[in-house]
């Protein structure tokens, strides 16, 4: 079979049906997909002894291109009712913040240059002051993410030393970040105390030896224990720890809002005298991926000097975004740049009106129902807040409907609850309302 003569990658590549794919995916990527699909097609032809059908081949290529298209980073519409959604990019960065930071990032900047004396400057620059003003504590440092923050803290203070941690806080967060693994990898010696549901002050105090570096409190990110439980009040713990034992908190979410129920704030730990606190910049804060470490100056300075600091330091865009975000928020308490905080402030009547307005735009195939939204991303799963959701009435199965929504030009991500697809207006951006309404309105015809 002279297939290679009949089908040439180059010729297919120039067909008009692939032009858009080339623009979106890049010429070499499309070329490679065409080549591999031709190879598969050749095998099919040999096995089945069919003749070459160019239309069939083209449609197989298009299908492959379509799959790859889904892999490309692209916006999706979050209708899940989970505000900080780990799989959907956590918190969206506000456009104004992005644009402002862009003015610095897209040009040369004073990232490591002092405009005062023209010499080498400090990478943290003014951000150090901004974080102190926003979160308190004597000093701070930024790394690439909170996992790196925890790792670096352990590496700096606990190699070959004991780290006391409650069994109830041996958590795994999302994609394989396990506290015990991080501890082991850093070279610290883990000393587990208490049980899954009960840890007492005495458990902590009895575990302390001369070789104890720190007590590590880890926020119970994605689960909670109910019933017969006992946790130690961090204030009590602080009071009773001997001088050589540090109190380190992996606070996780970066929450600073009193509106978040059952969630401590970063400031709470800072005020009670924790030595070091770390948290993510892209959960409750709504900033870029980053790990923020705040605490007593002597400790932060030690972390700064650790050789691994160079490995974990973030890029310039992270500093610019965090600085702009926090300054904007400190100057305007009603600012909407932190979406999660903004959403928590909206009264229930607002949620209801929004859902009803959308339902009206869509027509008769949705029902407004009472429901609850979640903050998500490293906050307790107990933290549920009342809202209204759109329940889609459709003859299609819920799974088919979810797929249909996901296959829209901009994917809409819904959830299934009691056999029905729900879309939560509270997690949509306001710029997406009309698009979502339009897609759902057209669904009527698709039934």
Ligand X SMILES: *Cc1c(COP(=O)(O)O)cnc(C)c1O
Residues lying near ligand X in the complex (CB under 6 A): 145-147, 173, 177, 218-219, 221, 250, 252-253, 280, 291, 378
End-to-end CA distance of the chain: 46
| CB 142 to ligand X: min, Å | 12
Phi, psi of 50 (to 5 degrees): -75, 165
| CB 171 to ligand X: min, Å | 7
Task: Answer whether 267's CB lies under 8 Å from 256's CB.
Answer: yes
Q: In the complex with ligand X, which residue's Cβ is closer, 383 or 402?
A: 383
Q: In the complex with ligand X, which residue's Cβ is closer, 252 or 425?
A: 252
The alpha helices in 72-120, defined as continuous H runs, are 95-105
Residue with nearest beta carbon to ligand X: 252
| CB 153 to ligand X: min, Å | 11
Q: What is the DSSP string of 71-82?
A: HS----EE-SSE
| CB 407 to ligand X: min, Å | 29
Long-range contacts of 19-25 (CB under 8 A, 24+ apart): 21/65, 21/69, 24/69, 24/72, 25/65, 25/68, 25/69, 25/72
Q: In the complex with ligand X, which residue's Cβ is closer, 168 or 253?
A: 253
Q: Is 407 left (phi over 0), alpha (psi -120 to 50) or beta?
A: alpha
Q: In the complex with ligand X, which residue's Cβ is closer, 194 or 414?
A: 194
| CB 179 to ligand X: min, Å | 7
Q: In the complex with ligand X, which residue's Cβ is closer, 79 or 377?
A: 377
Beta strands in 138-273 (DSSP E): 139-143, 162-166, 172-173, 177-178, 189-193, 212-218, 246-252
| CB 148 to ligand X: min, Å | 7
Q: In the complex with ligand X, which residue's Cβ is closer, 214 or 362?
A: 214
Pairing of β 162-166 and β 172-173: unpaired
Q: Max Cα separation, the chain?
A: 83
Q: In the complex with ligand X, which residue's Cβ is closer, 245 or 284?
A: 284
| CB 332 to ligand X: min, Å | 26
Pairing of β 276-280 and β 291-295: antiparallel
Say how far apart CA 247 and CA 256 lie, in whole Å.
Answer: 20
Say how far apart CA 48 and CA 277 lie, in whole Å.
Answer: 65
Q: In the complex with ligand X, which residue's Cβ is closer, 25 or 232?
A: 232
| CB 287 to ligand X: min, Å | 11
């Amino acid at each position: 079979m002279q297939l290679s003569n009949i089908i040439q990658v180059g010729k297919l590549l120039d067909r008009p049906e692939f032009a858009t794919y080339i623009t979106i995916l890049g010429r070499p990527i499309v070329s490679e997909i065409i080549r591999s699909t031709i190879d598969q097609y050749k095998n099919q032809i040999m096995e089945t002894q069919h003749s070459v059908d160019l239309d069939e081949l083209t449609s197989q290529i298009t299908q492959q291109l379509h799959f790859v298209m889904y892999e490309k980073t692209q916006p999706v519409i979050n209708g899940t009712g989970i505000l900080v959604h780990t799989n959907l990019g956590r918190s969206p960065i506000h456009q104004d913040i992005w644009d402002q930071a862009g003015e610095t990032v897209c040009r040369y900047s004073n990232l490591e240059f002092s405009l005062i004396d023209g010499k080498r400057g400090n990478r943290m620059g003014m951000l150090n002051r901004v974080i102190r003003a926003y979160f308190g504590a004597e000093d701070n440092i930024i790394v690439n993410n909170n996992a790196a923050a925890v790792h670096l803290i352990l590496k700096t203070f606990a190699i070959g030393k004991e780290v006391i941690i409650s069994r109830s806080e041996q958590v795994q967060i999302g994609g394989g970040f396990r506290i015990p693994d991080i501890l082991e990898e850093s070279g610290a010696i883990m000393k587990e105390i208490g049980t899954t549901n009960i840890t007492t002050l005495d458990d902590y105090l009895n575990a302390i030896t001369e070789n104890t570096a720190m007590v590590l409190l880890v926020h119970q990110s994605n689960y909670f224990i109910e019933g017969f439980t006992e946790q130690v009040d961090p204030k009590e713990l602080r009071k009773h720890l001997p001088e050589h034992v540090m109190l380190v908190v992996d606070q996780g979410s970066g929450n600073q809002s009193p509106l978040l129920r059952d969630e401590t704030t970063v400031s709470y730990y800072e005020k009670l005298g924790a030595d070091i606190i770390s948290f993510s910049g892209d959960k409750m804060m709504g900033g870029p991926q980053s790990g923020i470490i705040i605490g007593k100056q002597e400790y932060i300075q030690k972390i700064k000097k650790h050789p691994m600091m160079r490995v974990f330091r973030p890029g310039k865009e992270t500093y610019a975004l965090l600085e702009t975000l926090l300054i904007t928020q400190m100057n305007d308490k009603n600012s909407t740049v932190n979406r999660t905080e903004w959403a928590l402030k909206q009264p229930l009547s607002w949620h209801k009106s929004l859902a009803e307005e959308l339902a009206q735009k869509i027509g008769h195939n949705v029902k407004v129902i009472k429901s609850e939204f979640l903050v998500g991303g490293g906050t307790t799963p107990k933290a549920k807040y009342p809202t209204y959701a759109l329940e889609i009435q459709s003859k299609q199965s819920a799974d088919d409907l979810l797929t249909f929504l996901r296959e829209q030009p901009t994917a809409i991500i819904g959830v299934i609850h009691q056999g029905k697809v729900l879309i939560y207006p509270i997690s949509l951006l306001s710029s997406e309302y009309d698009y979502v309404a339009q897609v759902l309105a057209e669904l009527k015809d698709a039934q």
